[in-house]
Structure 1
């Protein structure tokens, strides 16, 4: 979906969200047209539910799996999230799909001991660029929390 259409949908679903906020920018990236795994608009509407607080976490590591372990170990509050969208970025033009699969399996195994029910729970991936200064795999996790009444 083109960036303009995604930004318009975010504004429609969450009219009070600041366009220059980190969460707005990251949602536009996640649902943007450069994603290598198809994302779904329905996930956006679920994510932007009523009475939500948002957090963006960024990780780089030796592998995507390393990034997942940083998420689980360093941010246990993420297990309390209502929804999690995450994207992996390759340090090069070639995405290592097998390594992303290992990371997602590791995430699932780490969470079996926790009661979690993220809705939505979605991921995608992006190619790096040849001129990127980032030489390590990275993970961005976008979390939605309930802020109550």
Structure 2
């Protein structure tokens, strides 16, 4: 068991190791991330009385993925916390495209009051030579959401 998996178990002992949320948290906070993630965000994310959901989006650009998140999953705006990571097609991250997507997300959310805690993102390089030509390669966004399940 990796250090991050052990920390997830410590912070949320009832979460099943084989669950989708456990696996995605291990990816988000694990090795390979191009932006350092902070374990303090994990502790905030795994708060008491929470339900979790993972959304996987893909599109022709990172911004396309963000618009899908906003348009097709309005419940994500009600989340208490959101961790998200972008995956690049073909192994090359274009940081300006991710920045543009994050700006678009911020602009879309100005109409909705939100206070995600934590609100963090990172990126991972995709696999080189995945058998797709450049016009077929897709950008990815995985959003890990935490919701309050009440009293």
Q: TM-score range by the shorter chain?
A: over 0.9
Q: Number of paired residues?
A: 147
Distance 2:131 2:68 in 1: 21
RMSD: 1.1
Post-superposition offset of 1:131: 3.8
Structure 1 segments of 4+ aligned residues over 6 angstroms from their partners: none
Distance 2:131 2:18 in 1: 24
Post-superposition offset of 1:133: 5.6
Distance 1:45 1:124 in 2: 17
Q: Counterpart in 2 of 1:54?
A: 52
Q: Counterpart in 2 of 1:140?
A: 142
Q: Counterpart in 2 of 1:97?
A: 95
Q: Counterpart in 1 of 2:113?
A: 115
Q: Counterpart in 2 of 1:15?
A: 13
Post-superposition offset of 1:130: 1.2
Distance 1:90 1:144 in 2: 24
How far does the alpha carbon of each residue in 1:4-32 deviate from its partner, in whole angstroms, 9 at most, with x for none? 00000000000000000000000000001
* Unaligned stretches of 5+ residues in structure 2: none
Q: Counterpart in 2 of 1:73?
A: 71
* Unaligned stretches of 5+ residues in structure 1: none
Distance 1:83 1:69 in 2: 18
TM-score if structure 2 supplies the norm length?
0.95
- Residue aligned with 1:124, SS: strand
Post-superposition offset of 1:122: 0.1
Post-superposition offset of 1:93: 1.5
